[in-house]
């Protein structure tokens, strides 16, 4: 009889190597092309999500398919064309999110079993395709990172919905974690404050006011319990404390209204117009709710609202870039990822 004696200190079998861990960055989404067809396809997916438009009844479906998708795509396509990355034929949001993925992967190189990928909730690359890709690469655990500092059902929750919808169709499911909102994390507030300070230092003028503009939301969603508004306020309060500014110097507003219902107030465009008419000549706008620059920051704020301010008597306007793939921005995501991967690494 042959007796096999284990050798102490021998190399472990190949199949006992650490499981691979996927980290999936998820941003809101973007059209695949800056034309009417591309924008229509994007808006159809976006506005058909019951997390975004909660009442998906017959009236909404008739309005969406009979009016909105017939008229709005052509107008929005012109807006996308103003900011489109023509070199890569994609939106800045897609270019920036890809860069965030690459730089985050580089920063986590000390953990070779981590694979970093990226996806869009609406449009491409889809969450479905990237979860499949991570699974195919041997990731038995996946950390989903919604790139929204403040939680809302219309952003963070719908990422979770889609991720778990994908898993519901898989027999061999990976274990899934989702990062929480980071609206008042010290690293995030410090990075925002440093970014604002550095940007303002490059200007030939000193702003009289700084407007912190967050994406809007129907007031009814807040009334039903969404914590988004309170988290936006918490971010603004923390930023005021860090920068040493009071409520008069650093204002909170909400942009991007849609439809006829009441949305969170004060509205960004009305506030900017009012400040100009009151005699404010120098204004800066920062958008703390966006991890990456996109249509709402580059076109709506930096172009439309800048024009609104100047047209009504303002003289100097600046939009502070989002954290994007800056060193500070990547450091925020990295610390969030490493914190949530505790017990897996």
CA 277, 283, 285 angle in degrees (round to 5)?
A: 120
- pLDDT at position 7 is 37
Given a contact cutoff of 8 angstroms between Cβ atoms, the answer to whether 255 and 295 are in contact is no
Q: How many other CB atoms are found less than 10 A from the CB of residue 186?
A: 12
135 annotated ligand-binding residue = no
pTM of this structure: 0.93
215 annotated ligand-binding residue = yes
Tokens 């999936």 — which residue? 24
Cα separation, 168 vs 162, whole angstroms: 10
Given a contact cutoff of 8 angstroms between Cβ atoms, the answer to whether 159 and 39 are in contact is no
Q: Considering Cα of 115, then 117, then 121, then 125, what sign does the dihedral take?
A: negative
Given a contact cutoff of 8 angstroms between Cβ atoms, the answer to whether 54 and 173 are in contact is no
Count CA atoms within 13 Å of residue 227 on its CB side.
11
Cα separation, 171 vs 156, whole angstroms: 25
Q: In residues, how long is the chain?
A: 345
SS3 118: strand
- Distance of alpha carbon 343 from the chain centroid: 26
- End-to-end Cα spacing for the chain: 42
Contacts of 61 (CB under 8 A, 6+ apart): none
Cα separation, 283 vs 186, whole angstroms: 26
pLDDT by residue for the chain (345 residues), tens digit each? 444 434 344 343 444 456 899 999 999 999 999 999 999 999 999 999 999 999 999 999 999 999 999 999 999 999 999 999 999 999 999 999 999 999 999 999 999 999 999 999 999 999 999 999 999 999 999 999 999 999 999 999 999 999 999 999 999 999 999 999 999 999 999 999 999 999 999 999 999 999 999 999 999 999 999 999 999 999 999 999 999 999 999 999 999 998 888 999 999 999 999 999 999 999 999 999 999 999 999 999 999 999 999 999 999 999 999 999 999 999 999 999 999 999 999
SS3 262: coil
Q: Please choose, from the candidates 25, 258, 28, the residue with its C-alpha nearest in 3D space to the C-alpha of residue 122.
A: 28
Tokens 């980071």 — which residue? 182
- pLDDT at position 121 is 98
Domains contained in the chain, CATH given: 186-319 (3.40.50.1400)
């Amino acid at each position: 009889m042959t007796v096999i004696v284990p050798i102490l200190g021998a190399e472990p079998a190949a199949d006992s190597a650490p499981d691979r861990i996927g980290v999936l960055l998820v941003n809101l989404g973007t059209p695949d092309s800056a034309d009417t067809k591309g924008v229509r396809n994007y808006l159809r997916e976006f506005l058909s999500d019951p997390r975004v438009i909660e009442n998906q009844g017959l009236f909404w479906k008739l309005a969406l398919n009979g009016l909105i998708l017939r008229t709005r795509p052509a107008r929005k396509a012109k807006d996308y064309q103003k900011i489109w990355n023509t070199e890569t034929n994609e939106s800045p949001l897609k270019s920036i999110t890809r860069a965030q993925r690459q730089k985050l992967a580089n920063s986590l190189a000390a953990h070779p079993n981590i694979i970093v990928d990226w996806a869009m909730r609406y449009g491409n690359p889809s969450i479905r395709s990237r979860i499949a890709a991570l699974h195919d690469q041997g990731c038995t655990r996946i950390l989903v990172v919604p790139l929204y500092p403040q939680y809302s059902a219309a952003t963070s929750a719908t990422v979770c919905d889609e991720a778990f919808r994908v898993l519901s169709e898989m027999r061999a499911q990976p274990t899934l974690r989702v990062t929480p909102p980071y609206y008042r994390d010290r690293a995030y507030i410090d990075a925002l404050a440093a970014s604002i300070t550095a940007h303002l230092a490059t200007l030939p003028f000193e702003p009289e006011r700084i407007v912190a503009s967050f994406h809007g939301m129907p007031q009814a969603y807040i009334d039903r319990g969404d914590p988004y508004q309170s988290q936006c306020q918490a971010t603004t309060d923390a930023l005021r404390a860090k920068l040493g500014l009071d409520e008069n110097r650093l204002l909170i507003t909400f942009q991007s209204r849609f439809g006829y219902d009441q949305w969170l107030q004060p509205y960004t465009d009305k506030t900017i117009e009012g400040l100009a008419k009151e005699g404010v000549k120098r204004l800066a706008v920062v958008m703390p709710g966006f991890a990456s620059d996109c249509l709402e920051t580059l076109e709506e704020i930096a172009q439309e609202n800048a024009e609104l301010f100047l047209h009504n008597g303002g003289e100097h306007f600046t939009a502070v870039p989002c954290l994007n793939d800056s060193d500070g921005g990547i450091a925020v995501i990295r610390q969030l990822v490493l914190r949530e991967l505790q017990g897996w690494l």
